Amino acid sequence: MTARSGPGQAQKLKGYAPSAGDGVYLRGLSRWQAEEQREDLADLYVESADTKPGEEYRSRESFLRRLADDVRRPGFDMMIAEATQAGQAPALVGCAFGFPVRRDGAWWQGFSGALPQDVEQLTASGHVFAITEIVVHPHERDRGLAGHLQERLLTSHQASLGATLVDQADPVACAAFRSWGWQDIGEFRWPPGPTVLRVLVLPLGERSAAKPDGLAHNADTERPRAADGVDPGMR
């Protein structure tokens, strides 16, 4: 079982060279701690987002609404990154949050076409975690912090696959996720409307020539079956 960093337990990133300060520490926040720090998180989001002049307030409120919605979801979890410097209070430089995807596959409703078999199997076995937001301060953006945040969040939940939805009309966000190792597997429309979202996944499985995407067909990801052969999730 993978050890999980509980709320308040900071772990220093080894081999990570922050742009300023003595080190960067990751720690998990509970849903209550996330709500307490919502204003600081929103400040980080505004500083990190490529927002047009005059749109800061609307962008900030949109982030706060998304955070409020996600905090109420079962299994919500957040990982934050703080940079430290001698004689100064820790500075918030990154965060990632999300929730486990339910085994019944309801999260995927709206996916266009047939869901890839491996993704369906991992969902049914409870190994998919939806990361709904990754925010990294511009000063740390090119230093791999996003990768550390997403990996720590996924491994703390023993997830084999990360999943996220990105607006197709936002090429900057799509490019950022791809640079962090995410793969585009199709489009998503939910609720029905003109907005097209791209479905991105991040496999944590070992890649090889036989399974270049890291998603292999194996017994560990098979959809669980009861003795009568009926899928428990369909009862």
Contact between residue 22 and residue 85 where contact means Cβ atoms under 8 Å apart: yes
Please tell me the pTM assigned to this model.
0.78
Bond from prior residue into 191 cis (ω within 30 degrees of 0): yes
Which homologous superfamily is 11-224 in? Gcn5-related N-acetyltransferase (GNAT) (3.40.630.30)
Longest dimension (CA), the chain: 64
- Give residue-wise pLDDT tens across range 85-103: 777 888 999 999 999 999 9
* Residue 76 confidence class, pLDDT cut points 50, 70, 90: very high
Short-list 110, 126, 20, 6, CA closest to 74: 126
Taking the C-alpha atoms of residue 70 and residue 68, their distance in angstroms, rounded to an integer, is 6
How far, rounded to the nearest angstrom, does the alpha carbon of residue 77 sit from its chain's CA centroid?
Answer: 10
Task: Provide the residue ranges of all domains of the chain, joining segments of one domain with +.
Answer: 11-224
Short-list 83, 177, 96, CA closest to 139: 83
Residue 101: CA atoms inside 13 Å, Cβ hemisphere, count?
29
Residue 8: the pLDDT is: 47
